[in-house]
Amino acid sequence: VRTLPYAAYSDPDVLARERELLFRPAWTYAGHLPEPGSYVTTRVAGVPVVAVRDRDGVLRAFVNVCRHRGAEVVSGGGRCTTLQCHYHAWTYGLDGALRAAPRAGDDLDRSELGLLPVAVDAWGPFVFVNVAEDPAPLAQTLGPLPDIVRSRGLDIGALRFHHRVEYGVDANWKVAIENYLECYHCAVAHPGFSQVVDVRPDEYELASHPTFASHYGHARDGEAQGQFHLVWPALKLNVMPAELPNLSIGPMWPASPSRTDGFLDYFFAPEATDAWIEAFLELDDQVGAEDAVLVASVQRGMASGVFEDGQLLLPSEELIAAFQAWVSAGVSPRG
Ligand code: FES
Ligand SMILES: [Fe+2]
């Protein structure tokens, strides 16, 4: 099985198509909104979005573009009672309605100038948004994933949000995702991780599904089960095989043909101590730094133009084959 053509990893036209056909229609993880007044901002294929939990606890999401002159209304995340634009202070309620516009008289028709609603849905504490018109429910994208996560031993409702980490790599988004989808490189490139997780092929499990792909590994020294899922196109969900419940979740998205950004929200069991979390993150950071070097190297090799494509090794790289089939189907002229 050959890889996708290397040209598809650097061509801006290919990326434009992928943004439009793969990222824009997808349910995109935005964050967690623990209480009334919580809000979080994100972008879906270039569309700024804000998700809020309103006063009654209801989730809402809007295009985060001001109806005055187009500024992004709010940034970051946190708590709020209204959504006030940082440019000229047009102020929207958590229902998106325009409440106030400084200096505006009665002739301004506020009813026509509310924030544009978009779809929002949740899986436990995880809030997703979708900018497509009338999308199918989130449950359809997730499929059996929530059941799998639970049956593999993790109760997501018992976790507490700890922090968010933003990161980026110098590689096409598909290089970053493909690197995530195999542990063929683990023994060679992640010695620290491989000391903790049994990465031998007979002990390490791969499974692909129509909307996501999964791998499972257990701790070398115990029963703890790890699970690593990738929901198409680019949402990661990691559970490390550790003594305490833990999870990190977050999307990656293309910043340019050769640059990919992302974030991970870390959640831990309430009993996890600062010292435990620190040791956990040290290993996590080490793996992340090692992967950043790998994918940048792949990007340079592909971009050299010497070879047209590469060779996939099955079954170790079967999730990459599944990902590439999904990408190809999604961007093909008939979709
Ligand atoms: S652009 Fe938002 S208030 Fe002017
Ligand atoms: Fe890796």
Output the DSSP codes for 69-101.
T--BS--SEEE-SSEE-TTT--EE-TTS-EEE-
* Percent of the chain whose predicted confidence (pLDDT) is above 70: 99
Q: How far apart are CA 111 and CA 35, in angstroms?
A: 27
Which ligand has an atom closest to residue 184 CA?
2
One-letter-per-residue 3-state SS of 269-325:
CCCCCHHHHHHHHHHHHHHHHHHHHHHHHHHHHHHCCCCCCCECCCCCCHHHHHHHH
- For atom 4 of ligand 1, which residue has the closest CA? 88
Which atom of ligand 1 is closest in space to residue 70's alpha carbon? 1
SS3 state of residue 24:
coil
State the average pLDDT over residues 231-240: 98
Residue 228 CA to ligand 2 centre (angstroms): 12
What's the pLDDT tens digit per position in 92-120? Answer: 999 999 999 999 988 999 999 999 999 99
pLDDT in tens, 133-162: 999 999 999 999 999 999 999 999 999 999
C-alpha 314/C-alpha 178 separation (Å) is 14
Q: For 285-319, what is each residue's pLDDT tens digit?
A: 999 999 999 999 999 999 999 999 999 999 999 99
Where would I find the H helices in the chain? 12-18, 138-142, 145-151, 173-180, 186-189, 191-196, 274-303, 318-331
At residue 133, the pLDDT reads 94
User: What is the Rg, in whole angstroms, of the alpha carbon atoms belonging to the chain?
Assistant: 21
Overall pTM > 0.85: yes
pLDDT recorded at residue 333: 77
Residue 121 has pLDDT above 50, yes or no: yes
Given the CA of residue 101, which atom of ligand 1 is nearest to it? 3
pLDDT of 335 over the 60 cut: no
Residues 14-29 have a mean pLDDT of: 98
180-222 pLDDT per residue, tens: 999 999 999 999 999 999 999 999 999 999 999 999 999 998 8
Segment 245-267 shows an average pLDDT of 98
Residue located nearest, by CA, to atom 1 of ligand 1: 69
Calculate mean pLDDT across residues 280-289.
Answer: 96
* Ligand 1 pocket check for 86: Cβ under 6 Å: no
Residue count (the chain): 335
What is the mean pLDDT of the segment spanning 233-241?
97
